[in-house]
């Protein structure tokens, strides 16, 4: 169980589309509007988990043409996000939007997030704890996963809010944007590598 918890902490806390957009919306709109987005992400995460534990994700992604479409769409989306982050200039601005995000924006992100599938497939099939009690194991893992997932995403939301409150020099803000963009590109590379 300790290995599962450690894997949850490491896999969920690393930058991906969910946490980076959460920080971005926190920076752009503040904690309360960003909380709606995180609620949507949480609901979307539950959809991804349901697809993974039911085997539906594996069945869908086993079809080469569907898998290719998913990989291309996800990769293009992640590259797009990385470009928006890197080209944000000297202002901390992870992602732009004209109005505060709602629950639906978060809900729609997770099902196209390749990191969400990679993490959940790894966590739910890579750590067999009770081989004779599959659904009991799924429920326990779901509780542990959410006990890690929710605070980490709230921390990223708060980090975005905190970064916006700092009066950082333009050069530092630009460096943060580039570091976030490179993190997104690392996710793209991981998604492409795992799809081969």
Q: What is the pLDDT of residues 89-118, one digit of tens each?
A: 545 555 554 566 788 888 888 888 878 888
Quote the pLDDT of residue 97: 46
Q: What is the 3-state secondary structure (H, E, C) of 139-157?
A: HHHHHHHHHHHHHHHHHHH
Q: What is the pLDDT of residues 143-186, one digit of tens each?
A: 999 999 999 999 999 988 887 778 777 787 777 767 777 776 77
For the chain, give every domain's residue range.
Answer: 2-9+34-195
Mean pLDDT of 134-138: 92
Is the pLDDT at 85 greater than 90? The verdict is no
Backbone angles phi, psi at 129, to 5 degrees: -105, -45
* pTM of this structure: 0.76
Q: What is the 3-state secondary structure (H, E, C) of 71-121?
A: HHHHHHHHHHHHHHHHCCCCCCCCCCCCCCCCHHHHHHHHHHCHHHHHHHH
- Report which DSSP code applies to 11: H
């Amino acid at each position: 169980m300790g290995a599962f918890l450690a894997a949850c902490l490491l896999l969920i806390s690393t930058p991906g589309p969910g946490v980076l957009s959460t920080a971005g919306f926190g920076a752009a709109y503040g904690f309360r509007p960003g909380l709606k987005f995180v609620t949507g992400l949480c609901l979307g995460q539950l959809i991804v988990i349901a697809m993974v534990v039911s085997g539906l994700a594996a069945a869908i992604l086993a079809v080469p043409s569907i898998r290719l479409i998913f990989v291309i769409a996800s990769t293009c989306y992640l590259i797009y996000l990385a470009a928006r982050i890197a080209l944000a200039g000297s202002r901390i601005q992870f992602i732009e939007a004209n109005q505060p995000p709602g629950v639906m924006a978060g809900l729609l992100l997770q099902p196209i997030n390749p990191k969400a599938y990679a993490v959940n497939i790894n966590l739910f099939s890579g750590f067999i704890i009770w081989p004779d009690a599959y659904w009991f194991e799924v429920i326990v893992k779901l509780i542990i996963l959410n006990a890690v997932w929710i605070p980490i995403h709230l921390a990223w939301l708060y980090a975005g809010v905190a970064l916006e409150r700092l009066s950082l020099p333009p050069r530092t803000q630009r460096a943060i944007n580039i570091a976030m963009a490179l993190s997104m590109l690392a996710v793209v590379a991981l998604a492409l590598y795992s799809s081969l």
